[in-house]
Amino acid sequence: MLVLGLGLGAWVRARHEARELAEGRRLAGQVAELVSRARAAEPAEAARLLAEAARLLEKVPDGRAGAPYATILAERAAVAVAVGGADPDALAAARKLLDAAWAVPGADGQLRARIARDRGAVAALVGDLAGARLWYGRADELEPGSPEVRARLRALGSPPGGKASVSQPGDAPASR
């Protein structure tokens, strides 16, 4: 009887794990489809699709701890600026999304460089030149030699390759 119970328990556990794996694949497919559609959509529709993709990831254990979630947050920030332009509320929303994306663990250097570059652009748009220098400096450290970042640093009066600390995931942003 004990052997039958152990065998039945293993079978049930395997079925449960298979269902979880299938559900994870289904959600990953849905998220990828939403992001793909958002990239081709008008900004207002893109905002809706990306918000839906973020909600799907937030339902999954550890869904907020990886590059896909950080990418969606960065995309949402870009859409917020595209929709709102230099409107202070749109820029504040973009800054908040980019700060959240910066704090996501598991993002690679290239994604973190993009987040830092976008955060520098938002800081520059609100007139926070020190913050823009800091964020572009972080982008320069993460993606050395980027012509775009170096041009922006020069325009801000900072030499490329200057000192800007590259914070680790979870660090509080230095400028607000």
Which residue segment(s) compose the domain that 87 sits in? Answer: 10-155
> Which pTM value belongs to this model?
0.76
91 has a pLDDT exceeding 70: yes
Give the number of domains in the chain: 1
Diameter over CA atoms, the chain: 78
CA atoms of 123 and 116, how far apart (whole Å) = 10
For residue 174, being part of any structural domain is answered with no
CATH number of the domain where residue 56 is located: 1.25.40.10
Q: Is 42 exposed, middle or buried (0-12, 13-18, 19+ CB in 10 A)?
A: exposed
Show the DSSP H helices in 85-108 as ranges. 88-103
- What is the tens place of the pLDDT at every residue in 1-33? 555 566 656 655 666 566 665 666 777 788 888
For residue 172, being part of any structural domain is answered with no
CB atoms within 10 A of CB 157: 8
> Contact 166/138 with Cβ under 8 angstroms?
yes
The residue whose two tokens read 């041009």 is 151
